[in-house]
Amino acid sequence: DTAVSQTPKYLVTQMGNDKSIKCEQNLGHDTMYWYKQDSKKFLKIMFSYNNKELIINETVPNRFSPKSPDKAHLNLHINSLELGDSAVYFCASSLTRDSYNEQFFGPGTRLTVL
């Protein structure tokens, strides 16, 4: 039973399109995250939700909009996709928002914008 799952695994799309990535965790965790990993493997946090409340909102273009319908789900919608959005997007979760908790990562969504 997968702890943190993401769909789709691969996403290839044209510039200017709108796309969504979905994430679900079955660990009963309170906190979920979206990370972007670029081609140099640098991992940067984008957003975090704690019990459906947005608690981390990094300097990310407002074309990116997260949504958490409940604490087990965190989706990421991207409008007007650009070439620079090509990356691997990881969802993660942790028991609480306390930094002492380990984070569990999903398998990632590789987004390619053409």
Closest CB to another protein among residues 14, 100: 100
The β-bridge partners of 11 are 111
Question: Which amino acid makes up residue 50?
Answer: N
Within 10 angstroms of residue 14's Cβ, the number of other Cβ atoms is 8
- Residue 90 near another protein by CB under 8 A: yes
Q: Which stretch binds another protein (CB under 8 A): 14-22, 67-75, 79-87, 90-98?
A: 90-98
Q: Tell me how far apart the alpha carbons of residues 5 and 106 are, in angstroms, rounded to a whole number.
A: 5
Name the residue nearer to another protein (CB basis): 75 or 109.
109
CB of 80 to another protein, least distance (A): 27
Question: Alpha-carbon distance 26 to 79, whole Å?
Answer: 28
- Where on the chain is the footprint of another protein (CB under 8 A)? 31, 33, 40-45, 48, 50, 55-56, 90, 92, 94, 96-108
